[in-house]
Amino acid sequence: MSIDSLSLSSFRNHNSNHFEFSKGITVIWGENGSGKTSVLEAIHLLTYGKSFKTHKQAQLIKEDKKTSLLKAVFSKKKVKNIISAQVEKTSSKIKVNGKLILNRKELIGQNNVVVLSPEEQPITKGAPLQRRQFIDKMFSVSNKKYINSLQEYNRALKQRNAALQNIRDDKTKKNQLSPWDNLLSEKAEKLWGERFEHLLMFNNLFLSTVDQYDRTLDIKTSSTTELKNKEEILENLKKRENKDIARGRTSYGPHKDDITFFWNGKTLREYGSQGEHKLTLFLLKVTEMLFLKKNTGVYPTLLLDDLFAKLDLERSKKIVAMLSLFRDEESKRTQTIITTTDILNVENSGLLKKYSNSKTIRLQR
């Protein structure tokens, strides 16, 4: 798939702008604050219905304006789709070919993008929630069944937590908990099962991606996701029941999962350098791209925000060599949009030479 064009008005610092993208590589360059990341953010919003930077819509709308308007043309196998968004402070309307969509789920699967941005670095550096969100989003985009299991689990979790709070506050009796335990353990078994299966596939792809980048590089992952049946889950919920009532929160289940990354045997989160974090994130994102390709049949568009900053030339060149391996069915390279403050950085990496169809866009602050 590819994104052909994008129009923005009153979005972040953009007044009114129109961009046409190459099917190969597009380099967007300009000073800090010129609006490069915002362009990628707009593409992400039209793809998945939300920003990758914020949940607060009001922040997206240009200061002193009421509404942001975004519109993009996507092509997939020669079919063109127009997706538009009207973002207001508390609501937003998204249309596909003029037809209003009522649920964000309807957008999922239409087009896919993978973003590699400094804004996403919390995936390796931040709290477990960031890593869960990373895998949950990837698995949801590649499989609608997964998003349903996730939503059903989250609903059951909310209900059990409400019951725990009511018991704690003496509003209900303790024996009222068991239907919620039942429901939650059923949904947990399902979600864990699917997550386990997807993680296995992801992990295999990740290990071969690392290997392909550099055979001597030793990055591994481990996760707390387990295959547990309903009875075992129920037993574990029971064991923690008193603690959970006191806290008014469920302390066990898929919502507590985490993934740990190891670089040369040491935990990346505690020991990793900036470049090591960045490279790991790059390899995770390449894996995400391969995962989506494997599950949906099409390569997503890669959005690389400030990719070469903080990476030495040798690593940058290796990354470029790796990117140039991915080809679609017509053996064309996959669509990539890259931003930079330093056009020389991109030129030195050799990236532009690898693509026959490239385009450069200059943004002014």
Interface residue list for ligand ATP (CB under 6 A) = 12-13, 30, 32-38, 59, 61-63, 306, 341
The distance of closest approach from Cβ of residue 121 to ligand ATP in the complex, given in angstroms and rounded to an integer, is 13
Q: Which amino acid is at 125?
A: K
Q: What is the identity of the amino acid at 157? A: L
Least distance between ligand ATP and beta carbon 278 (Å): 14
Instruction: Judge whether 143 and 295 are in contact, CB under 8 Å.
Output: yes
Smallest distance from ligand ATP to CB 341, Å: 5
Q: Give CA 239 to chain center in angstroms.
A: 34
Q: How far is the CB of 317 from ligand ATP (least distance, A)?
A: 22
The residue behind tokens 């304006």 is 65
Among Mg ion, ligand ATP, none, the one that 35 touches (CB under a kind-dependent 5 to 8 A) is ligand ATP
CB 160 within 8 A of CB 177: yes
Binding to Mg ion, residues 15-44 (CB under 5 A): 37
Q: Is 8 helix (H, G, I), strand (E, B) or coil?
A: strand
Residue 301 engages Mg ion in binding (rule: CB under 5 A): no
Interface with Mg ion: number of residues (CB under 5 A): 1
Closer to ligand ATP by CB, 59 or 267: give it: 59
Q: Residue 183 or residue 343: which is nearer to Mg ion going by CB?
A: 343
State both tokens at 272: 């990793």
> What does 61 interact with, of ligand ATP, Mg ion, none (CB < 5 to 8 A by kind)?
ligand ATP
In the bound state with ligand ATP, the residue whose beta carbon lies nearer, of 12 and 160, is 12
**In terms of CB distance, is 41 or 244 closer to ligand ATP?**
41
**Cβ atoms of 159 and 180 closer than 8 Å:** yes
What is the C-alpha to C-alpha distance for residues 24 and 299, in angstroms, rounded to an integer?
13
Question: What does the alpha-carbon distance between residue 172 and residue 348 come to, in Å, rounded to a whole number?
Answer: 67
Our finding on whether 51 is near Mg ion (CB under 5 A) is no
CB of 309 to ligand ATP, least distance (A): 9
| Whether the Cβ atoms of residue 40 and residue 335 lie closer than 8 Å to each other | no
Q: How far apart are CA 16 and CA 281, in angstroms?
A: 32
Work out how close the CB of 264 gets to ligand ATP at its nearest, in angstroms, rounded to a whole number. 30
Which residues fall within 8 angstroms of residue 274, CB to CB, at 6 or more apart? 310
Distance CA 81, CA 72 (A): 8
58 or 246: CB nearest ligand ATP: 58
CB closer to Mg ion, 150 vs 363: 363
Give the interface with Mg ion as residue ranges (CB under 5 A).
Answer: 37
